[in-house]
Amino acid sequence: MSQVIKVSTLCLALLSISAQAETIETGVISQAEAEVEKGDGWAFYSYFTGSSYGVDKTLTGMAVIEPGQQIHPPHQHADEEYLLITQGQGEWSVEGETFSASAGDMLYAAPWDAHGVKNTGDSPLVFVVFKWHSKNNAVPPKPDAK
């Protein structure tokens, strides 16, 4: 076996081990174990992030937003995303339109669709988020019109 083939095989094996080490494994993460980011009137708890067997760039988390606040203005990204409100009242922003939002409501945002949520109630708004990009699918290009 030539040196080039041996080195290539070793590199592929190390890449495989490295990729496996970053793969999300089955498990439970408590809220106390989640990574927390705090801002002015909100907190975001990151639970599972990274890659899984079929998904790249996973983000799963929970946001708690105080009355009158939002984590950020409506935004766009190449990933698909679901948001499920579990507590409180708010307002969805989807492609420039606004809709009321309350516990039990869910938003799906396709790649590059502008979306956001704001707490318009008088108690904390809580939502869970699932965002990802599927493996072996090209990242959709950002449309010029958006």
Give the mean pLDDT of 80-108.
96
What does the alpha-carbon distance between residue 7 and residue 25 come to, in Å, rounded to a whole number?
29
Task: Say what the pLDDT of residue 25 is.
Answer: 86
Query: Global pTM?
Result: 0.79
Tell me the C-alpha distance between 47 and 36, whole Å.
9
**Fold that domain 25-134 belongs to in CATH:** Jelly Rolls (2.60.120)
Structure tokens at 44: 């975001």
The whole-angstrom distance between residue 7's C-alpha and the CA centroid of its chain comes to 37
Q: Where in the chain are the domains?
A: 25-134
Phi and psi at residue 84, in whole multiples of 5°? -120, 120
Please say if the pLDDT value at position 104 is more than 80.
yes
Neighbours of 110 (CB within 10 A): 11
Using one digit for the tens of pLDDT, what is the confidence trace for 22-31?
688 899 999 9
- % of the chain surpassing 70 pLDDT: 84
